[in-house]
Structure 1
Amino acid sequence: MKKRILLLFGIISVFLLLAGCTEVNKPITAESTGFWNEYIVYPLSWLIVHMADWLGGSFGLSLIVVTIIIRTIILPLMIKQTKSSKAMQALQPEMEALKKKYSSKDQKTQQLLQQETMALFQKHGVNPMAGCFPLIVQMPILIGFYHAISRTRAIAQDNFLWFDLGDKDPYYILPIVAGITTFIQQKMMMAGQTNQNPQMAMMLWMMPIMIVIFALNFPAALSLYWVVGNIFTIVQTYFIKGPELRAPATGKAGGAKK
């Protein structure tokens, strides 16, 4: 879990570095060169612009549709993340047993604990880092969105609902909604695990707070992308983990009947 937290901070650091330092003020066109421009920023810019043409000139609607398209493309990774989360939850009793077995803090015992834990993961085909894969995939897309919006004048100058796509949300509604939906998404993904793992409980609160901080300082279009993506993931997680999410409530109801 500590490795996942360090990886998360590493990804966020790269995001901040690239968002602030990579040709952010240079317009993106078909003539832009470099891997980053040619294969990530310009394709996103082109897709958003052409989708807006098909949707009557609304770049806000275009961003929503493009976000759904992208989330649908990476849906297999998201499903894998959800299944990995469920598998990790199922292994919690065995992992707790191993921790009790190797409770000594000396180095040799801790090495044995790590070996036994990895063997347990391999036995059940669980990758503890699988939960980070969707985030790793999404970060270049998120940075690409930032550059596409900032470097495509037509997108940055358009408005949608109450906000300008290229500016911060003046009423802070999108950042707050982004944080709330991130919390709901995390809560659903970690259902049943936070009580057993304090580090997961910390992540449950840490991620939404960081998203709100980002959303307060970046163009509203990025918050729109994050909110739509979160809603997509919440619906997806509900259908995948629905019975599991409803189980506690059912159990309470059953207990009341008795």
Structure 2
Amino acid sequence: MNDKFRSMIILLLTTVLLSGCTEINEPITKDSTGVWNELIVYPLSWLMVETAQFFGEPLGYGLSIILITVLIRLAILPLMIKQIKSTKAMQVIQPELAKLQEKYKSKDAITRQKLQQERLLLMEKYNINPMAGCLPLFIQMPILLGFYQAIMRTEELKGNSFIWFELASPDPYFLLPILAGVSTFIQQKVMTKGQEGNPQIVMMLWLMPVMIIIFSLYLPSALPLYWIVGNIFSIIQSYFIQTPEIINITTQPAVAGRTGGRKK
């Protein structure tokens, strides 16, 4: 299990425990108490209601969710850019990582520790932050779960439809879950281009869309709508972040000056 996947599980469990202290069936209002309600759920609920009223019926709440998704993505855009650059930089050093894995292919604890140390040194050499790929996740997971509760606990949302589906209920035609899964696959494919030989990457490439589809079958349609819009945003931003910029950075070792000019 790679570090990013492990971090995702730990963060998900932590956030679920934090949000689990609130009653999911209790309507969210300005009088709701608790840190989770006051800082996450109610602000998202308030923003959703106010934006929907601005757009008006009958598509107000759907457009509100789309706008909020775009605003969230814009807010974390600097972190997402770092994530994409880190991912593309990792693609550049894949041949060197493969050599390390071949050199330290033994499964004993000491060899695995040496492999990890060499990997960290290699990433430091090319100025790659291993945590850059996890930062957007740490920001998005509480927001996603908070948005889920805001949708479930906002009374004004119930009964409102957008195109063919009710936002507070699962899509009866299963089109939204499929779109969410397909867009997740495309987004993952774009983000992991050049890493097709990594078994963990391949596993996540297929596992994440399947998980999204399964969740979307039972969750309110507002959540897969959020995922679809977010995935489209990620695909577009990946297109505009050019690989040559990353290559120019990563192919020049950041610690070249530390070698002291040693000659072989």
Shared fold per TM-score greater than 0.5: yes
Q: Which moved more, 1:4-13 or 1:48-57?
A: 4-13
In the other structure, the counterpart of 1:251 is none
Confirm or deny that 1:201 pairs with 2:202.
yes
The alignment's C-alpha RMSD in Å is: 2.0
- Asked if 1 retains the 8 angstrom alpha-carbon contact of 2:19 and 2:36, the reply is no
Partner residue in 2 for 1:48: 48
Alpha-carbon separation, structure 2, partners of 1:150 and 1:108: 49
Aligned residues: 243
Whole-angstrom CA distance in 1 between matches of 2:144 and 2:106: 43
Is 1:70 the counterpart of 2:72 in the alignment? yes
Which residue in 2 is equivalent to 1:7?
Answer: 7
- Which sections of structure 1, spanning at least 5 residues, go unmatched? 245-258
- 3-state SS of the aligned residue for 1:238? helix
Q: 2:141 aligns with which of 133, 139, 142?
A: 139
Matching residue of 2:155 = 153
Structure 1 residue 170: deviation in Å?
0.7
Hey, what's the Cα distance between the residues in 2 that align with 1:13 and 1:210? 16
Alpha carbons 2:18, 2:36 under 8 Å: kept: no
Q: Give the secondary-structure state (helix, strand or coil) at the position aligned to 2:133.
A: helix
Aligned mates of 1:155, 1:194 — CA distance in 2: 42
Structure 1 partner of 2:220: 219
Counterparts of 2:207 and 2:143, CA distance in 1: 21
What's the % identity of the aligned pairs? 57
Kept after mapping to 2: 8 A contact 1:19/1:146: no
Structure 1 residues 80 and 98: CA distance shift in structure 2, 3 A:
same
Deviations 1:3-59 (A, max 9, x none): 222223334445666677631111111111111111111110111111111112411
The answer to whether the Cα contact below 8 Å between 1:18 and 1:143 also exists between their aligned partners in 2 is: no
The TM-score, its normalising length taken from structure 1, stands at: 0.87
Which residue in the other structure is 1:253 paired with? Answer: none
SS in 1 for 2:134: helix
Partner deviation per Cα, 1:183-204 (whole Å, 9 max, x = no partner): 0000000001022x11111110
Counterpart residue identity of residue 78, structure 1: M
TM-score w.r.t. length of structure 2: 0.85
Q: 1:208 to 1:70 in 2, by over 3 A?
A: same
Greater per-residue helix proportion:
1
In the aligned structure 1, how far is the partner of 2:80 from the partner of 2:205?
Answer: 17
